[in-house]
Amino acid sequence: MGNYRFILSGGGTGGHIYPAIAIADELKRRHPDAEFLFVGAEDRMEMEKVPQAGYEIKGLWITGLQRKLTLKNLMFPFKLISSLLKAGKIIKKFRPDAVIGTGGFASGPTLRVASGRGIPCVLQEQNSYAGITNKLLKDRVAKICVAYDNMDQFFPADKIVKTGNPVRGDLVENFKDKSEALYHFRLDSHRSTLLILGGSLGARRINQLVAENLDFFKKRDIQLIWQCGKLYIEEYKKYASDTVKVLDFVNRMDYAYSAADIIISRAGAGSVSELCIVGKPVLFVPSPNVAEDHQTKNAQALVAENAALMISETDLDTQFEAEFAELHQNEDKKRELGANIKKLALPNATSDIVDEILKLVS
């Protein structure tokens, strides 16, 4: 067969965009002459991130439905029709061999049109609770790649393949020596190190929690790598010191993970998949502001396996100090959580997803 042509669609958040880019990169590695086109939602972050990764992207005029009656909801039928028509033109012109959807608004119209024209389609669902777009597409696609067990409550069992979520290759391949990692951050090898992750933009409530507890950490001789996010760096950089490294963004996540003894993190699907590979004790503080409360469900799936701890934002004031102090002091508990979360890792996810795609087109 000649050169393969692939359309990838997904976006709105990094959790949908980066898996799509990882899949495209692996397809390109195996088939250097393949052609790629991404389809995203106009004015969303994929229109910036995908070209930065070296791929062409087309935008659809599409947004999700709001939970309350708004003018945007009244516009939704017009946006949907517009997106279906534009997706049809894109697919007719590009003639893909397969279309891959990673969730988000734009993947709905794109995969709906492609499947209707008999083009093989694959879904990749990152979360333990399926997103609405993927649930609507479930009967129209050939394969659904998932990261959690029990996904047959959302999807036809015969289409499900448990692959895991794509994670950045440097994490799987380049885990660093701890002393080298601590030196990178200019931290003390005799102190315990806490890594705080709130996502690239930052997590307001986690940042507040850390600021409120700096004395608590200091009394326990804990040093911090605190990724507060670019939205909050101006507010929190004043807390930086020899033992508190305040960063808007962590460029060397391999070093950050290697340096950490305990990690506090949001529970987005990509973060959870990375943390499974890292195999360190994690305390999740899920964001309550995401669709269908995905993050809480992701964290609960790990808590059920005794692979992580979780505190909801509303319980931080009453529970954080006691739960964190208990974890910090309990070496057996730390080892147990680290070992259990690592058992859930699926480091070959990207490769396994691409295997499923290539089976359909070959």
Answer yes or no: is 270 a known binding residue.
Answer: no
Residue 327, burial from CB neighbour count under 10 angstroms (0-12, 13-18, 19+): middle
Mean pLDDT of 234-244: 97
CATH number of the domain that residue 84 is part of: 3.40.50.2000
- Check pLDDT > 60 for residue 5: yes
Give 316's contacts (C-beta < 8 A, 6+ positions apart).
Answer: 205, 209, 285
Residues 187 and 323 in one domain: yes
> Tell me: the pLDDT tens digits for 177-212?
899 999 999 999 999 999 999 877 789 999 999 999
Answer yes or no: is 117 a known binding residue.
Answer: no
According to the model, what pLDDT value does residue 65 have? 58
Residues 36 and 116 in one domain: yes
According to the model, what pLDDT value does residue 151 have? 96
> Tell me: the pLDDT tens digits for 332-354?
999 999 999 999 999 899 999 99
Answer yes or no: is 15 a known binding residue.
Answer: yes
Residues 192 and 293 in one domain: yes
Residues 58 and 37 in one domain: yes
Residues 180 and 329 in one domain: yes
**More confident site: 64 or 32:** 32
> Tell me: the pLDDT tens digits for 98-110?
999 999 889 999 9
Residues 115 and 194 in one domain: no
Answer yes or no: is 168 a known binding residue.
Answer: yes
Residues in the chain: 362
> Tell me: the pLDDT tens digits for 247-295?
998 988 889 999 999 999 999 998 999 999 999 999 999 999 887 788 9
Query: How far from chain centre, in Å, is Cα 311?
Result: 19
Residues 13 and 148 in one domain: yes
Residues 100 and 177 in one domain: no
Answer yes or no: is 202 a known binding residue.
Answer: no
User: For residue 96, how many other CB atoms are within 10 A of its CB?
Assistant: 23
Q: Rounded to an integer, what distance in angstroms lies between the CA atom of residue 251 and that of residue 256?
A: 9
- Check pLDDT > 90 for residue 76: no
Answer yes or no: is 14 a known binding residue.
Answer: yes
Residues 268 and 160 in one domain: no
Answer yes or no: is 199 a known binding residue.
Answer: no
Mean pLDDT of 149-163: 96
Q: Rounded to an integer, what distance in angstroms lies between the CA atom of residue 91 and that of residue 267?
A: 34
* Residues spanned by the domain of 280: 170-343
Question: Which residues is 332 bridged to in the sheet?
Answer: none
Residues 224 and 329 in one domain: yes
* Dihedral sign from CA coordinates of 128, 134, 136, 137: negative
Domain total of the chain: 2
Residues 333 and 315 in one domain: yes
Residues 180 and 224 in one domain: yes
